[in-house]
Amino acid sequence: MVPLKGISKAPESPSAKIFFDFIILSFFSFGLLVVYKFQFASKEYLSLCVTDLNLFPRRGSGWDAAGCVGGCGRENPNRKWPIMKPTGERNTLRVPTTRQTLEPGRIMPPRKSSQISKTPPPVFLTPALDYLGAVTMFKTNRTRQDYGCKRGTHLMKGAALLAGALALAACTSSIPAKHNAATEPTAAGTGQGEVTLVAYDSFPLSEETIAAFKKKTGYDLKVVKSGDGVELTNKIILTKDAPLGDAVFGMDNNTAQAAVKAGALADFTGQLAPSVTKARGAEKQLVPIDQGEVCVNYDIKYFQDKGLKPPATFDDLAAPAYQNLTVVQSPQTSTPGLAFMLATIKAKGENSWQNYWKALKANGVKVTDSWDTAFNADFTAGGNKNKSAAYPIMVSYASSPAWAVNEAGDATTIGNVPDTCYRQVEYAAVLQNAKNPEGAAALVKFLTEETAQKDLVENNYMYPVLDSVSLPEPLAKFGAPSGKAVSLDDKQVSEKREAWVRAWTEIMS
């Protein structure tokens, strides 16, 4: 306590502090026992048990004292601690929670701070509490009745335990910090509950980064995958009144303006690093997370084996020498597919781009619904889950060659066509009508910070928006920006995108 101005405070010895704390807490304990004996003798008022005191929450879990859904009054035979556990699906997290699920992607609102304990138990108390059975009963999946929390049976036990624990805590806190450093709990965020992120299918955050988010903010993270970027944006718009989650990641500079215009995104007011430049015209809603260049890629080995020169221009893709060799994504569902279509509009002009696509169609171009499908099933230098993959040319990213670097780190099997690159920025945002807007804002901010930025660079092969994060060596050497990427004005794209996609659909159907 800071002494009042102008009044000095005499030094206080640790032993004297311990003595007076013990006297005060003894009176407090006695008072609780008196309350039990005289004030609450009637069983109608004895509904309090030790688990209702919110004294000893499990470290970092954000649960109510008795581990019940909505409190001790409800049964919860299937309660589980909120431990993040990845499933077999890539980067999909299913996070057990103490809150009921209304439907996939929709959760109950977080409890008020008065309902959830925020302070973990001191480490030094854990053995004593386990011995007394206070913590042990929290570890079970029983209901309140199984704990024996019937009216009038446990208030005295709770009072004694409370007084003893507080006395021990007070005495220990009087010891100088250097002798007690090991007992200090690890600092953690104060957020409670779960944040649901709606993202595209290839959302890349590692388990370590998700754990770092939990530690920094206190929130658990649940990821709902919703197709590729365009499909994701459409879902966000269609469900704006009953959103699929709390935050969204994966819209880009060619699609996000539609979500803003539809009123599907809430304002973000958090502080960001200076290098994180807001989207022009949507500064309040969109937060840039990563950036890249959508380019035509090719399989270097394929063209070497065939003795064929790799493509170098848009026109090459429509030439007879490259017939039936190219796979692209649909601009109806995929952000890379949309970016490639926009790149052809930029290159050929609004009066000629449709003729170019007619030529591509005649030359046997294949269209898939997503980047994942094209890269893993069709591209000969990609994931090649489909052993019959037969397309050595694919619309992908300038950074893709870094993915295919050999073990020696001196060569790659994927090449770029720099003259076909189109700039892309991917955004995150808080969803309008989110159940947990505070948690969503914390997540969006976290995605712009160093831990998440490094992870996105290494696992998503995109470029960071944070200046302090440098590219890892393979990406800097083989997948650096082309320096030739073009883009159309975001406003122009927002106004004409639907008409352009309709025209493309008529050509390719």
What distance in Å separates the CA atoms of residue 450 and residue 13, rounded to the nearest whole number? 45
pLDDT at 107: 26
pLDDT at 172: 36
Residue by residue, pLDDT tens for the chain (509 residues) are: 333 333 333 444 545 555 555 666 566 555 544 444 444 333 333 333 333 333 223 223 332 333 332 333 323 333 232 323 333 333 332 223 332 222 222 222 333 333 333 344 444 444 443 333 333 333 333 332 333 333 333 333 334 433 443 343 343 333 333 333 232 223 456 778 999 999 998 888 999 999 999 999 999 999 999 988 899 999 999 999 999 999 999 999 999 999 999 999 999 999 999 889 877 778 899 999 999 999 999 999 999 999 999 999 999 999 999 999 999 999 999 999 999 999 999 999 999 999 999 999 999 999 999 999 999 999 999 976 667 789 999 999 999 999 999 999 999 999 999 999 999 999 999 999 999 999 999 999 999 999 999 999 998 889 999 999 999 999 999 999 999 999 999 889 999 999 999 999 999 99
Q: Which domains does the chain have, with CATH numbers?
A: 193-291+425-470 (3.40.190.10), 292-424+493-508 (3.40.190.10)
What distance in Å separates the CA atoms of residue 454 and residue 466, rounded to the nearest whole number? 9
Q: Which of 480, 496, 501 is nearest to 293 (CA)?
A: 480
Token pair 């979500």 is found at 259
Q: Do the beta carbons of residue 41 and residue 190 sit within 8 Å?
A: no
What distance in Å separates the CA atoms of residue 370 and residue 218, rounded to the nearest whole number? 34
Bridge partners, 296 (sequence order): 395, 417
Burial, 473: exposed, middle or buried (Cβ in 10 Å; 0-12, 13-18, 19+)?
Answer: exposed
Q: How many CA atoms lie within 13 A of 107 on its CB side?
A: 29
Question: Three-state SS for 329?
Answer: strand
What distance in Å separates the CA atoms of residue 240 and residue 263, rounded to the nearest whole number? 8
Instruction: Give the chain's largest Cα–Cα span.
Output: 97
What distance in Å separates the CA atoms of residue 241 and residue 424, rounded to the nearest whole number? 28
Token pair 């958090």 is found at 270
- First-to-last C-alpha distance (Å) of the chain: 75
Can you give the pTM of this predicted structure? 0.60
